[in-house]
Amino acid sequence: DGGITQSPKYLFRKEGQNVTLSCEQNLNHDAMYWYRQDPGQGLRLIYYSQIVNDFQKGDIAEGYSVSREKKESFPLTVTSAQKNPTAFYLCASSSGDYVGYEQYFGPGTRLTVT
Amino acid sequence: GESVGLHLPTLSVQEGDNSIINCAYSNSASDYFIWYKQESGKGPQFIIDIRSNMDKRQGQRVTVLLNKTVKHLSLQIAATQPGDSAVYFCAEGIRGSTLGRLYFGRGTQLTVWP
């Protein structure tokens, strides 16, 4: 089956620890995205990548970092600098590096930091 | 900047009735729009999209209407079923944009009563 996988589904961390969220896709998509979703809110873009070894900051990149060493993988690290990291994190991919192609979403990772 | 909003944060309908979910957008340059459905604890799923050279597009039990004059988008669901209960998001973008990003609204919670 083609799709996007995110792991783990639930993640718990202590404050002050960095944590990395996994995102893998086998759709052969060039573009990949990370969004954050808070209760009652829309999706806010954290980072996106159009090609391997290249990525751009979204609207709320502070306290986050990414890498894109492989086309299939786009891991997100939530650092201790992120003031309010508890949220639902969604990874997405699309076939084009420009709008006009739908974004496919993974199942999400719910991160809780205490 | 762009903003995508929704007129109604919640909508309750009886099973079998038609549902209409509305969305306003502010960027007149946006020419591509998508509706997503998000069930609780899951990632958004693509429903239907429309480009600005169209006023209407139909899918299976869904119709999207675009009114560029007033910058309004709506999603109509025919014969609404309990399985349609979810949060529905609209998103806007500019085709061909090198940024390759979409802007999402907050979403409307649709509840279908038996």
Tens digit of each residue's pLDDT (9 = 90 or more) over B65-89: 999 999 999 999 999 999 999 999 9
pLDDT in tens, B29-48: 898 999 999 999 999 999 99
Can you name the residues that pair with B103 across neighbouring β-strands? B92
Would you say residue B98 has pLDDT above 70? no
- Helices and strands: H and E segment counts in chain B: 0, 11
Measured distance CA(A25)–CA(A103) in Å, rounded: 12
**Could you tell me which residues come within 8 angstroms of residue A99 by beta carbon, excluding any fewer than 6 positions away?**
B32, B93, B94, B95, B96, B97, B99, B100, B101, B102
Query: What residues contact residue A106 under an 8 Å CB cut-off, 6+ apart?
Result: A3, A4, A5, A6, A23, A25, A90, A91, A92, B43
Percentage of chain A exceeding pLDDT 90: 77
Inspect the interface and report whether the beta carbons of A110 and B45 lie closer than 8 Å. no
Residues of A in contact with B93 (CB under 8 A): 99-100
Asked if B34 has any chain A CB less than 8 Å from its own CB, the reply is yes
Chain A residues in contact with B42 by the CB 8 A cut-off are 107-108
Is the Cβ of A96 closer than 8 Å to some Cβ of chain B? yes
pLDDT of residue B47: 96
